Structure formats: structure tokens, C-alpha cells
Amino acid sequence: MMTISTRPAVFFDRDGVLNRDVGFLFEASKFEWMDGAREAVRLVNEAGYFAFVVTNQSGVARGFYEESDVQALHRWMADELDAVGAHIDAFEYCPDHPEAPIARYRRDTDRRKPGPGMITDLMKRFPVAADRSFLIGDQERDLEAARAAGIRALLFRDGNLATFVREALKLG
């Protein structure tokens, strides 16, 4: 019998953690990396952890932009990270909102944080060691999602993300 080896993961919230939260961001031209964000992802990669992004994107449900815009921004982020030798293993986003003006996105789903769905979906798709994994978020709903998924939750407010991650990895 073959055993699949698991490894820990860092789940990054996007807006307010990897980049400045400017509200309903979908254009690369308005994207501003947080200090140390790209280095933080590289540190996670070098430590042998999976690096994931889990982000609510209700701007889709509100009609501000399309899912293709979210995907294009994530491809741009991946290229930017690649340029510094870093990578995200998977980007997950939830376009839904329970009060969405666009009917097909008007739903209450456990994939929308504070629900744990994006995290648990990733843990089903990848061999994640949940007991050694953690989420970095800037809002209470991020931390609630992590706790509901059974992983450690860390609050990042500001400062240098690489410094924050370096400390968090020592705890891991």
C-alpha cells in the first residue's frame, strides 16, 4: 500500500494580506503588493509548504467585474511571483453573495468566508497536513473560516508580510 505524504500549507487571504485592500480590486494597474508579500510566498515555498490563496470576491456577484477578471488578476499575480522565484499552488475565490443583484451568484455558500469551504476544498484536492497548516487573514471572517476548517488562524494587520511569515513558520 502506498502512502501519500502530506505537507503543511499556508492559506493567504488576498486583499489586505498579499495586497493593499483598495476595495473590489480586479485590475493589475490598481494592484499594490503588501511590503514583503512576494518574499513571504517564496519563504512558504522554500519551507516546503503549499501556498494557497483563498479570497471572497463578491464584486462578481455585485456586477462590478467578471470571474474572468478575477482569473486574469490571479494569472498576473502568478507571473509577478514567478519573477521572484515564488508560486501559489492554487488560487480559490468565492464570487457569491447572499444578497447579490446578479441571480446566479445570489446564494449562501460555505465557500464564502467565514465558511470554511474554500479551505476544505483545497485540503481535499491536495495532501495537506492540517495540524501543521495555518491561514493568514486580516479580517475576523478569515480567522473564523480557518478555525471552522480545523487549522490555525493568524491575524495580519500591517507591516512586512515576510517578517510575519518568518515568525509564523517558526511556530509551525
Active site residue 142: no
Strand order in the sheet with 152-155: 90-94, 50-56, 9-12, 134-137, 152-155
Which of 13, 96, 138, 142 is flagged as catalytic? 13
| Torsion from C-alpha of 85, 55, 126, 129, nearest 10 degrees | 90
Active site residue 21: no
Catalytic residues: 13, 15
